[in-house]
């Protein structure tokens, strides 16, 4: 596998979706290619940072309006 192949399979590799043969080929390439190793590691790190990001705070007035609309809907159902 060459560098282009690694990039092409990068997401599948990080998601654990690569079939064993391709995974071995990719990891063999990483053993001698510093650039691809850096790309793989940094992309993995980037996804981890994104996943760790906190949810956007729900403004209290938005939450109030949501619950007010729900209350209307739910009370109309129960009557």
Partner 1 sequence: MFNAIFIPEKGHGAPVWGFSGALSTPNPHRLPSSIAREDEHLLVAAAKKGDAAAFEELVNRYEEKVFRLTRNITGNREDAEDAMQDAFLKAYSHLQDFHGDSRFYTWLVRIAANESLMRLRKRRPNQFSLDEPVEGDTDLMPRELEDWGPSPEQGYAQAELQGILSEFIEQLDPEFRIVLVLRDLEELSTQETAEALGISVPAVKSRLLRARLKLREKLNRHFRRGTLH
Site residue total, partner 1 (CB under 8 A):
43
Site for partner 1 in 17-76 (CB under 8 A): 17, 35, 38-39, 42-43, 45-47, 49-51, 53-58, 60, 62-71, 73-75
Number of other CB atoms surrounding residue 26 within 10 Å: 20
Minimum separation from the CB atom of position 40 to partner 1 (A):
10
Q: How far apart are CA 61 and CA 77, in angstroms?
A: 24
Q: Own/partner pairs for 9-14, CB < 8 Å, 24+ apart?
A: 10/39, 10/40, 10/43, 13/40, 14/40, 14/43, 14/44, 14/47
Residues binding partner 1 (CB under 8 A): 3-4, 7-8, 10-12, 14-15, 17, 35, 38-39, 42-43, 45-47, 49-51, 53-58, 60, 62-71, 73-75, 77-78
């Amino acid at each position: 596998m060459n560098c282009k192949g690694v990039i092409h399979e990068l997401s599948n590799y990080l998601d654990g979706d690569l079939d064993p043969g391709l995974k071995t080929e990719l990891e063999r390439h990483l053993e001698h290619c510093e650039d691809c190793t850096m790309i793989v590691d940094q992309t993995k790190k980037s996804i981890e940072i994104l996943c760790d990001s906190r949810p956007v705070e729900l403004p209290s007035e938005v939450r109030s309006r949501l619950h007010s609309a729900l209350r209307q809907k739910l009370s109309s159902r129960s009557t």
